[in-house]
Structure formats: structure tokens, C-alpha cells
Structure 1
């Protein structure tokens, strides 16, 4: 495969992003529980910390990469007509791009609350 991610590279990135996503979710749940339980105030307090904001930005990037690799592999393996494959991959890419833009907008709003 030229210009793309090799099978082993994609496999490794899928595992690394899964590891980060899992650790982030565990830390987030632990932080919310230790702050007195899930509430809007606890969530706001956690998200206004610069370290948590950076971790959340990395989470967004890892989630987007993890989703792209996984969905791309499923489409390449199971959608055989070339035109349909390209159409589905473009739709997935546009959806993930819109999620990334939306997530970035949310993170910028959270960052502006502590700046």
C-alpha cells in the first residue's frame, strides 16, 4: 500500500489509541467519582484544568484516529465495488472531520473559560 498506512502500522496505531482511550476514560471516571460524583460542576471543574484539557484534546485525536482506522478496515474488507467503497470512505472521512471540528470547538470554549 503506497501513501497509506501499512497493515502492521494500522494495527499498532489501533492498539495504541485504544490504550490511550481506555486510560483516559478510567482517569475521567475516577476524577468525577473523587470529586463527589458526576455533576455539571464536577465536569466543569475537571475540564477547566489545563492538564485535563490537553488530555481531552489528545483523547479527541486518538478517538478520531481509532475510528478512522477501524472503519476504514471494515469498509476495505467488506465493501467490494470500488465506487461504493470510495463513497463510504468519503462519507466516513467527512463525518469524522465534522466530529473533529465540533470537538475542537468545544475544547476551545472550555479553554477560554480558564484563560
Structure 2
């Protein structure tokens, strides 16, 4: 794939993930403004709903994609030594994957316990 096509894909991923993040945040702010869970158990029950947990997982995936594209572009533009760039990209990738797995585990445990 050409560098130009890669840039277009990164641009599209950034815009699509930003749109989902914005819409999800508007939905959650509206929902929690009017139907805030009154206890931890009510919150756990709310999160255990398959639609909510899938929406939250998609939110985290979109957030990680959005962050990855942003940090990748910054590192490519401003870190010129290739080994430093590869090292930093690897560290960020490991961190993002770890965060995603941690969140998936939290959602899974909340769904099982409810």
C-alpha cells in the first residue's frame, strides 16, 4: 500500500473514531443525567446489559484507535531516529493493548457478576 493510501486510512480511522466517541459521550451524558444508577449494584446491572457492554467496548476500541493514530503520526513526524521511533511505537502499542485487555476484563467481570 502506498504512503498516500496509508495516510488516507489513518485520516478515515481518526474521523470515524472521533465521531463514535462524540456520539457515545453525548448519549452517556444524556442517559446518566436522567437515569443515573443509584448504587454500585444498579451500575453493575446497567453495565451487564449486552447492548451497554458492547457499546462500552466499542467506545474503548474507538478511543484506542484514535489515540494510536494520533500518537503514531506525532512520533513519525517528530522522532527522526528510526530506533527511537520504533521503540516508542512499540511501547505505546503494548500500553494500548494492555489498556484494552484490562477494560475488556473489567466489562467481562461486571457482566458475569451481575
TM-score (norm 1): 0.86
**Aligned CA-pair RMSD:** 2.1
Partner residue of 1:73?
73
Higher RCO (CA < 8 A, seq sep 6+) = 2
Q: 1:21 Cα deviation (Å)?
A: 0.7
Gaps in structure 1 of 5+ consecutive residues? none
* 8 A contact 2:44–2:111 mirrored in 1: no
Gaps in structure 2 of 5+ consecutive residues? none
Partner residue of 2:15?
15
TM-score (norm 2): 0.87
> When you count helix as a share of all residues, which structure comes out higher?
2
- CA deviation string 1:39-68 (max 9, x = no partner): 645533431221111101111111111111
Equivalences, count: 113
CA distance in 2, matches of 1:30, 1:41: 21
CA distance in 2, matches of 1:16, 1:38: 33
* 8 A contact 2:37–2:43 mirrored in 1: no
* 8 A contact 1:32–1:43 mirrored in 2: no
